[in-house]
């Protein structure tokens, strides 16, 4: 029990509460009931961190670092602020799971299914998302530097305000994906696939690799953004925008 709560309970046992006026005793009793409920809830939450993975698991705020959870079924689970640093979640089912503020640094979600999952505000530096399905998932305001989304299916996914420096989207499906206000500096979009609109409104695109990409239906792009990117003769731009003279860029060896 919380130390100050224990002292309060001890005071009750010693008769301190009974010496109070009736109204004070009623208030003290209500406070003790609230403390008991809080203590029980805290214990239940801590105990749930030891539970086995299953649909609708509650691992919020739990430490799940460096463990093997590949092919787990965590559909609809509450994984808010869970620490999955360097954990293997490859092939797992995370459909509609809530991973808001989770730590996924150097974790593997390769081949995972995470459609409609909430990855907003996650920390996912160098995380392996290759081949995953995260259609209509949210990665808003997430830290995704050097994350690897190669071959991922990201139709309708939201990356608004995400940090995506040097992230790799090669051969990813990006139909309807939103990159509004995202940092895409040195990210690789070459070889990505999409049909229909893709939103780049106010995205920062310093040396974003768009070689061979058909951006003719992209929305939100300006000439100032295109002037910072790295494309080539095969890159297709929206009407009214033109290739800058520095194309093609030299290879990025980092």
**What's the N-to-C CA distance of the chain in angstroms?**
52
- Token code pair at residue 170: 């090669």
CA atoms lying within 13 Å on the CB side of residue 153:
9
To which residue do tokens 């229909």 refer?
196
Q: What is the pLDDT of residue 30?
A: 52
- Token code pair at residue 39: 């203590």
pLDDT greater than 90 at residue 254: no
The predicted-structure confidence for 70-117, as pLDDT tens digits, reads as follows: 999 999 999 999 999 999 999 999 999 999 999 999 999 999 999 999
Q: What is the pLDDT of residue 198?
A: 95
What average pLDDT score do residues 189-209 get? 95
* 230 contacts: CB under 8 Å, gap ≥ 6: 207, 208, 209, 210, 211, 247, 248, 249, 252
In Å, how far from its chain's centre is CA 246?
35
Whether the CB-CB separation of 106 and 86 falls below 8 Å is answered with yes
What average pLDDT score do residues 37-62 get? 75
Return the minimum-mean-pLDDT range out of 42-46, 134-138, 151-155: 42-46
Q: Is residue 196 very low, low, confident or very high in pLDDT (cuts 50, 70, 90)?
A: confident
Q: What is the pLDDT of residue 27?
A: 53
In Å, how far from its chain's centre is CA 159?
9
Q: What is the pLDDT of residue 252?
A: 83
- Measured distance CA(151)–CA(163) in Å, rounded: 19
Q: Write the Ramachandran bin of 6: left for phi over 0, alpha for psi from -120 to 50, otherwise beta.
A: alpha
Whether the CB-CB separation of 195 and 215 falls below 8 Å is answered with no
Q: What is the pLDDT of residue 16?
A: 45
Name the average pLDDT for the chain: 88
Q: Is residue 122 very low, low, confident or very high in pLDDT (cuts 50, 70, 90)?
A: very high
User: How many Cβ atoms are within 10 Å of 204's Cβ, its own excluded?
Assistant: 18
Q: What is the pLDDT of residue 24?
A: 53
The predicted-structure confidence for 125-136, as pLDDT tens digits, reads as follows: 999 999 999 999
């Amino acid at each position: 029990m919380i130390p100050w709560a224990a002292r309060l309970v001890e005071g009750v046992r010693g008769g301190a509460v009974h010496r109070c006026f009736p109204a004070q005793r009623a208030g003290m009793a209500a406070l003790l009931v609230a403390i008991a409920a809080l203590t029980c809830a805290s214990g239940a939450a801590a105990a749930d961190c030891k539970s086995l993975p299953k649909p609708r698991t509650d691992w919020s705020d739990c430490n799940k670092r460096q463990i093997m959870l590949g092919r787990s079924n965590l559909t609809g689970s509450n994984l808010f602020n869970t620490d999955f640093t360097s954990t293997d979640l490859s092939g797992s089912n995370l459909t509609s799971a809530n991973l808001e503020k989770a730590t996924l640094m150097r974790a593997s979600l390769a081949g995972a299914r995470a459609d409609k999952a909430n990855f907003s505000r996650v920390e996912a530096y160098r995380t392996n998302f290759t081949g995953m399905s995260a259609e209509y998932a949210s990665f808003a305001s997430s830290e995704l530097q050097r994350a690897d989304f190669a071959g991922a299916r990201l139709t309708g996914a939201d990356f608004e305000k995400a940090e995506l420096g040097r992230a790799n989207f090669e051969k990813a499906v990006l139909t309807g994906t939103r990159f509004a206000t995202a940092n895409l500096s040195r990210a690789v979009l070459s070889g990505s696939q999409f049909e229909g609109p893709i939103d780049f409104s106010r995205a920062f695109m310093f040396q974003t690799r768009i070689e061979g990409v058909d951006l003719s239906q992209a929305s939100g792009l300006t000439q100032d953004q295109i002037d910072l990117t790295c494309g080539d003769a095969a890159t297709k731009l929206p009407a009214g925008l033109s290739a800058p003279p520095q194309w093609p860029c030299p290879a990025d060896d980092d």
